[in-house]
């Protein structure tokens, strides 16, 4: 059994993590901390957990956290970096679901997150927790940086093309749509039902924090360090609870262009051993609901009118494969458990 602690657990990532961990056969949920809710029963805040989670939120206490095998941080950006060194020193492994350890360059981090990075020493050691790319490194990691939701959907969608050098990486477009849970559970006018339901909008077009993260991952895949890929990333707010749909546009480099069937085969082969990436049959249009509550990324490949523009459709549940589920997947790898343990539940349709 892995003895697990959670720091911060009152947001949507937190409750999702609790849902997954509560039914994970190899996990003992040891402590969950929240300054604001200390003393409140977890299932009072989240009645769906009644009968499944018997803990109270506790004020953060190094002693109890240090006694864990693994601590998940489901905290705002900038929090984990303050506590991680002590936990690692105590022999505790850490998975941060926030952004503290996702970017390798502390200056880029500081620019996008609006504060200096407080733990630059660990940036090199931290492993970017996208198992389909970094499985071996994750297995040995003490500190996992769980990817962002958009970066997960976009990278899984584009990597097969980029790994093979098939597309012009100076002109990639990621038009992404997310459910509102991606915006978190803070009191805010912008995410009220009455502000977001029955409406659709882009946001962050001038710049979004997931842009450097995606760019870092795709650039790494090109193998051309130092020459960043060209990426236009436009996120949109969609009137639904969960789900990300990434619509990805890339231009085939003509000399390398294969047939449509070859593209389909490329994707199928790229992911044939991946338990959580599902390449749909040619001609498909994945729906976000087909992964609602599940740790799956479903992908379809199109090449409209036989032109040189490839259109990739990639869907995930932002709270599962885009956050808590991927974190549990990372945990499974880090603790040498079968990777799918606790992650086999089926998407809820309708």
Q: Which residues inside 136-165 make contact with a second copy, applying CB under 8 A?
A: none
> What is the radius of gyration, based on Cα positions, of the chain?
20
Residue reference for tokens 């193998």: 223
For the chain, how many residues are written? 350
**Whether the bond into 350 is cis, omega within 30 of 0:** yes
Distance between CA 161 and CA 12 in Å, rounded? 33
Out of 39, 124, 201, 254, name the contact with a second copy by CB under 8 A: 201
Distance between CA 216 and CA 148 in Å, rounded? 12
**Other CB atoms closer than 10 Å to residue 57's CB: what's the count?**
23
Q: How far is the CB of 167 from a second copy (least distance, A)?
A: 13
Catalytic residue among 149, 176, 194, 297: 149
Decide: is 39 part of the binding site for a second copy (CB under 8 A).
no
Token code pair at residue 139? 């297995």
- Pick 127 or 301: Cβ nearer a second copy: 301
Out of 107, 239, 256, 338, name the contact with a second copy by CB under 8 A: 239
To the query of whether residue 149 is one of the catalytic residues in this protein, the response is yes
CA distance to 169, 193, 257, per residue, from 308 (Å): 14, 41, 8
Decide: is 54 part of the binding site for a second copy (CB under 8 A).
no
Pairing of strands 309-316, 244-251: antiparallel
Q: Are 331 and 280 in contact (CB under 8 A)?
A: no
Decide: is 226 part of the binding site for a second copy (CB under 8 A).
no
Out of 26, 40, 52, 139, name the contact with a second copy by CB under 8 A: 52
Subset of 265-294 contacting a second copy (CB under 8 A) = 278, 280, 283, 285-294
Nearest to 316 by CA among 289, 350, 349: 289
Out of 36, 254, 273, 305, name the contact with a second copy by CB under 8 A: 305
- Pick 114 or 207: Cβ nearer a second copy: 207
- Pick 135 or 236: Cβ nearer a second copy: 236
Out of 82, 232, 256, 259, name the contact with a second copy by CB under 8 A: 232
Decide: is 259 part of the binding site for a second copy (CB under 8 A).
no
- Pick 44 or 86: Cβ nearer a second copy: 44
Catalytic residues, which ones? 149
């Amino acid at each position: 059994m892995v003895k697990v602690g959670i720091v911060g657990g009152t947001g949507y990532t937190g409750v999702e993590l609790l849902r997954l961990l509560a039914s994970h056969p190899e996990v003992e949920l040891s402590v969950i901390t929240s300054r604001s809710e200390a003393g409140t029963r977890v299932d009072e805040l989240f009645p769906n957990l009644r009968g499944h989670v018997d803990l109270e939120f506790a004020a953060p206490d190094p002693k109890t956290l240090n006694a864990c095998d693994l601590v998940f941080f489901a905290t705002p950006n900038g929090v984990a970096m303050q506590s991680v060194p002590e936990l690692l020193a105590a022999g505790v492994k850490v998975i941060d679901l926030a952004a503290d350890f996702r970017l390798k360059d502390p200056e880029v981090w500081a620019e996008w997150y609006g504060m200096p990075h407080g733990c630059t020493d660990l940036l090199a050691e931290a492993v970017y927790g996208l198992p389909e790319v970094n499985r071996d490194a994750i297995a040995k990691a003490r500190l996992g940086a769980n990817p962002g939701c958009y970066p997960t959907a976009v990278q899984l969608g584009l990597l097969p093309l980029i790994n093979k050098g098939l597309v012009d990486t100076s002109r990639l477009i990621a038009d992404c749509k997310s459910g509102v849970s991606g915006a978190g559970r803070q009191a805010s006018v912008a995410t009220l039902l009455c502000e977001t339901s029955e409406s659709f909008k882009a946001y962050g077009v001038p710049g979004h924090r997931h842009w450097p993260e995606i760019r870092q991952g795709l650039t790494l895949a090109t193998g051309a360090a130092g020459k960043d890929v060209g990426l236009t990333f436009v996120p949109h707010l969609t009137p639904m609870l969960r789900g990300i749909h990434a619509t990805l546009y890339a231009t085939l480099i003509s000399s390398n262009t294969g047939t449509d069937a070859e593209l389909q085969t490329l994707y199928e082969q790229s992911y044939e051993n991946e338990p959580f990436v599902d390449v749909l049959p040619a001609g498909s249009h994945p729906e976000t609901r087909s992964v609602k509550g599940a740790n799956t990324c479903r992908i379809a490949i199109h090449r409209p009118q036989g032109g040189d523009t490839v259109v990739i459709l990639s869907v995930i549940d932002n709270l599962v494969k885009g956050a808590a589920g991927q974190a549990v997947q990372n945990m499974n790898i880090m603790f040498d458990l079968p990777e799918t343990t606790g992650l086999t539940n089926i998407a809820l349709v309708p």
